[in-house]
Amino acid sequence: MKLGAFSVSLSVKDLTASQDFYEKLGFTIFGGDLKMNYLIMKNGDTLIGLFQGMFENNILTFNPGWDQDAKNLETFADVRTIQNLLKDKGLEIDREVDPETSGPGSITVIDPDGNAILIDQHR
């Protein structure tokens, strides 16, 4: 099962301090906006989202339909298909997408240690 581009979404206390820290590790701004309280930072193929005040805990994020450069993939598994596959494997979906819709949508599953995994399709 291909889940799409992977990133870690970090809940940060001070976006500017986090930006400075990750820039020292070699990350550069790839997207986002300080005024909107989030930045997407990139180092090679590694993506880290920095989010201030948007959620409490860190989240593992997958984006079906995107590669690691946020470019559209020609073919990909729709989030609704992924949702069905996960249910068939016996996983509980914490937040579901309406199977009657199409296009953008997201689901969340929680791993055994309480970590949220967001599968977030943008198109």
> What pLDDT, in 10s, does the model give residues 31-50?
999 999 999 999 999 999 99
CB 3 within 8 A of CB 79: no
CATH number at 81 reads 3.10.180.10
Q: How many structural domains does the chain have?
A: 1
> Which residue range forms the structural domain that includes residue 75?
5-121
Residue 62 pLDDT greater than 90, yes or no:
yes
Task: Kindly indicate the confidence band of residue 1, based on its pLDDT and cuts at 50, 70 and 90.
Answer: confident
106 phi, psi to nearest 5 deg: -150, 155
